[in-house]
Structure 1
Amino acid sequence: MDSTVYDVVGIGFGPSNLALAIAIEEYNAGRPAAQHIRAVFLERQDTFGWHRGMLFEDATMQVSFLKDLVTLRNPASGYSFVSYLHAKGRLADFINYKTMYPLRVEFHDYLEWAADRVGAPVRYGHTVTDVVVAAGGELLEIVAAHAGGVARLSTRNAVVAAGLEPSLPAGVEPGERVWHNLDILRRAETFAVDPGAPPERFIVVGAGQSAAESVAFLHERYPTAEVCSVFFRYGYSPADDSNFANRIFDPAAVDLYFDAPAGVKRMLFDYHRNTNYSVVDSDLIEDLYRRSYREQVLGRRRLRMLNASRLTQLRARPDGVTAVVEHLPSGEHLTLEADAIVYATGYRPVDAARLLGSAGAHCDRDEEGLLRVGRDYRVRTGDGLRAGVYVQGGTEHAHGITSTLLSAVAVRSGEIAASIGAAVADRVAAGSPEAGRPLVGAANQRARTSRIRT
């Protein structure tokens, strides 16, 4: 067992906890060693990765590059997207590109670049299996399985950033011919295609950005296949990215949202759903419409929009699927045979309490079963747990739309680091025997955990 008592163990190492690792590094840089936040991060993946299955070559980010891991918190940080461009020798070229929205593959490369540079130890290939309350509630023991056995780490605070998990309709199970869009690139690479018998039809279910991107990708990737887009709406709805509406993602909006009455929170959330949920970039809508119209003119229609419709039956086979689509206005049913079906039906936040294992029982919930969370993203806990539990994501009910989005990671991570840092400073001021204790074998610990995948 690791004998170090950490100030932070981060559970998950995607963009949110990566931003936290950077915020902690920059927090420590301006303080004496006794006040440093000692942190380690656990990640179940063997390497850093973020939505790899949707890294289409021509897909762009939907947020400005200035909403990177650090800029809204610290514009002078060496971990900014601009610093990344400079390090890669592309800063002048990006300026000439004249866009605020980089390619998604480029932004992923930026995240990997930052993850490789950050100083905090990251233990990849570690899956947290339990979080146990220890030392009378003052500490948490994090239990993580890895290829070499089981690791146990003691910490005063856990920060859960488990991200999102694919959401599929009830009764639908993923398989070789039934995909969630999160896996579309991987599935496309492994999809068995006989050159003499290319795929004939794909079905995509959903009306949001991921659905539209999946339709566009399949339509280009398989130039002889028909692509059927099935969605409830009459047409794709454009995302509201207008100037004033975008203020809902500003750091100041989180304060207003958090302090607002419950009814006002729901009103604001409902009014501005169209900034993020089940909406599509206008440029992509226009591109798909142009493709559809061009095919209509040429008399070779491969792109079919089955609007105002829903899937009522699905039968998966080893070599394809049979789907029944109901046109809601008329009640007519259409049976489609397809090589595969893609569900672009969104994501849901991973329940942080589920990952907390036995410690999750100490977390307070409201009348709707949602976690009670403070402004600093610390979960309210019962008297039996005084160690800190923080969450990144899954707090839309408390902090608003930004809680699961990249827009907030820079500022949110800084707020969490400051909250934890204040507790460290209090211990130092109180003369705690733990204050300022050096990490046990710190140099060796870094070498063992930071880059080795165990």
Structure 2
Amino acid sequence: MSSNADYDDAPVDVLGIGFGPSNLALAIALQEQGLLGSAAGGGGRLRFMERQNQFGWHQGMLLDGARMQISFLKDLATMRSPSSPYTFLHYLQDRGRLVDFINGKTFFPSRIEFHDYLEWAAARFSRVVEYGSEVIGIEPVYTGDVVQEVDVVVQRADGIRRHRARNIVFAAGLQPWIPEGITLSDRIWHSSELLHRLREINVAGIRKALVIGAGQSAAEVTSHLHQVCPNAQVHSVFARFGYSVADDSPFANRIFDPEAVDVHFRAAPDIRQMLRRYHDGTNYSVVDLDLISDLFERSYQEKVVHDQRLHFHNLSRVTRCVQTPAGADVTVHDLVEGHVESMTCDLVVFATGYRPVDPRCFLGPLLEHCQLDAGGRVALARDYRVLTSPRIRSRIFVQGATEDSHGLSSGLLSNVAVRAGEIAESLAEALREQGEPLTAAAR
């Protein structure tokens, strides 16, 4: 066991890995259950480790005019507790914009405004969050042959530190995904970097830009580059015939209802796969109709005036993308006709989505005590708790990497408030079973 000198603070009852919307919603639920004492403090019972140096949620895609694709009522608290002081409506009242928002007659705030709401809520928990702290491992702490606590190993600018905890909640979010063989560079980006990268270059000097992807992010990046790079030919490449419309109709949206999690969790594996196939169109590789129509209209009007800057390569795939001194050499393969087109681009953006961070990467020796499902993932109970052997008394929860067991809404904002409440209730039960709070003397 490591020496006490490795530890920065007293042990905690709950340690959260990551502090994005999921664990922020959990902090709110725990505070409202009385498990934190006060929003600003908490008596050492709760701590979060966040890799970023400050709160941020998809900041590289906070594009002007981009709106949320879910109702503001699916915020951090409303679906669990409409009277919570952490709802979006309370935020609007605090900011002095409630009446103006109502007069706007929309359920869908801008992405910039919703991010401001998240920052507003996160600021109220700053004393229980350690920013600039990247979790690199979790180690069991044995009492005899039983794991009563765990040590969370954290990399910070000033070195490696340890935090002892009874229970952990894993919510490390998503990581950008790019096709195999692609190397990101100063001219080949993932869409998550878009705004950060554009600030570093002369957009007026961009002559040719290429975007890969068929989903909402790809369409938004294509639209944004077409607007902010006035001299650029903007090419969009996707394997579909055209952008597919997101199905946000009332019946289809029921797949994101809290009750849908129970249905998905109880369903047999083949039924889960069927539900995924049926309802992929609500979230994956789909685009809002208004944005599709806008892009089509722009392209059409450019044809009318014989000044084409917006180009769509459908039924196509990028088979080569390599950085060069002049930018990036790209090969586009027509999947139907077999034609191959080579072009040199000033910048290339892969809007190819994200993958959830796998909790198995952090569990280390604990993994041998965790049950795995048929796909080799950690097996979860309905309350998002990792199923472990009786030798593990600590509870480990997972937020986000749970789509296979809990359905489409598990990694999305739609169910974040309800999910946080369920985990908070399970944590309250765990703390009752575990007895008195940990103290420094317990080490």
What band does the TM-score fall into relative to the shorter chain?
over 0.9
Structure 1 window deviating more from structure 2 (92-101 vs 138-147): it is: 138-147
Cα 1:87–1:129, aligned 2, differ >3 Å: closer, same or farther? same
Give distance in 2, aligned partners of 1:76 and 1:168: 42
> Is 1:181 aligned to 2:191, yes or no?
yes
Structure 1 segment 130-169 matched on structure 2, within 5 A: 130-135=137-142, 136-169=146-179
Cα 1:5–1:315, aligned 2, differ >3 Å: closer, same or farther? closer
The structure 2 residue matched to 1:240, chosen from 236, 247, 250, is 247
Q: Is the 8 A contact 1:37 1:421 kept in 2?
A: no
> Is 1:298 aligned to 2:305, yes or no?
yes
Give distance in 1, aligned partners of 2:17 and 2:131: 11
Report the counterpart of residue 5 of structure 1 in structure 2. 11
Report the counterpart of residue 321 of structure 1 in structure 2. 328
Cα 1:138–1:392, aligned 2, differ >3 Å: closer, same or farther? same
Aligned Cα root-mean-square deviation (Å): 2.0
Cα 1:424–1:289, aligned 2, differ >3 Å: closer, same or farther? same
Cα distance per residue 1:20-61 (max 9 Å; x no partner): 1111100117999xx999211011111000111000011000
Structure 1 runs of 4+ aligned residues shifted over 4 Å read 29-32
Q: Is the 8 A contact 1:130 1:358 kept in 2?
A: no
Report the counterpart of residue 369 of structure 2 in structure 1. 362
Structure 1 segment 172-251 matched on structure 2, within 5 A: 172-192=182-202, 198-251=205-258
Report the counterpart of residue 432 of structure 2 in structure 1. 425
By how many angstroms is 1:192 displaced? Answer: 4.1
Cα distance per residue 1:264-284 (max 9 Å; x no partner): 111111100000000000010
By how many angstroms is 1:370 displaced? Answer: 1.6
Q: Is the 8 A contact 1:7 1:420 kept in 2?
A: no
By how many angstroms is 1:3 displaced? Answer: 5.6
TM-score, normalised with respect to structure 1: 0.91
Report the counterpart of residue 451 of structure 1 in structure 2. none
The structure 1 residue matched to 2:267, chosen from 241, 260, 263, is 260
Q: State the secondary structure of the residue aligned to 1:83.
A: helix
Cα distance per residue 1:165-207 (max 9 Å; x no partner): 00000000110111000001111111245x6xx2111010000
- Count of residues paired in the alignment: 429
Give distance in 2, aligned partners of 1:60 and 1:310: 28
The structure 1 residue matched to 2:26, chosen from 8, 15, 20, is 20
Report the counterpart of residue 334 of structure 1 in structure 2. 341
Give distance in 1, aligned partners of 2:128 and 2:104: 36
Cα 1:301–1:148, aligned 2, differ >3 Å: closer, same or farther? same
Q: Is the 8 A contact 1:53 1:185 kept in 2?
A: yes
Structure 1 window deviating more from structure 2 (327-336 vs 95-104): it is: 327-336
Q: Which amino acid aligns with 2:48?
A: F
Q: Which amino acid aligns with 2:22?
A: S
Give distance in 2, aligned partners of 1:241 and 1:358: 43
By how many angstroms is 1:150 displaced? Answer: 2.7
Give distance in 2, aligned partners of 1:326 and 1:190: 31
Report the counterpart of residue 3 of structure 2 in structure 1. none
Q: Which amino acid aligns with 1:15?
A: P
Cα distance per residue 1:285-311 (max 9 Å; x no partner): 000011011101111000001001111
Q: Is the 8 A contact 2:212 2:218 kept in 1?
A: yes
Give distance in 2, aligned partners of 1:340 and 1:362: 47
By how many angstroms is 1:318 displaced? Answer: 3.0
By how many angstroms is 1:147 displaced? Answer: 2.2
Q: Is the 8 A contact 2:11 2:44 kept in 1?
A: no
Structure 1 segment 5-154 matched on structure 2, within 5 A: 5-28=11-34, 38-118=45-125, 121-135=128-142, 136-154=146-164
Q: Is the 8 A contact 2:264 2:405 kept in 1?
A: yes
Q: Is the 8 A contact 2:13 2:437 kept in 1?
A: no
Cα 1:311–1:436, aligned 2, differ >3 Å: closer, same or farther? closer
Cα 1:436–1:186, aligned 2, differ >3 Å: closer, same or farther? closer
Give distance in 2, aligned partners of 1:3 and 1:176: 40
Give distance in 1, aligned partners of 2:126 and 2:35: 11
Q: Which amino acid aligns with 2:148?
A: E
Q: State the secondary structure of the residue aligned to 1:142.
A: strand
By how many angstroms is 1:314 displaced? Answer: 2.0
By how many angstroms is 1:334 displaced? Answer: 1.1
Q: Which amino acid aligns with 2:199?
A: E
Structure 1 window deviating more from structure 2 (175-184 vs 128-137): it is: 128-137
Q: Which amino acid aligns with 2:170?
A: V
By how many angstroms is 1:342 displaced? Answer: 0.5
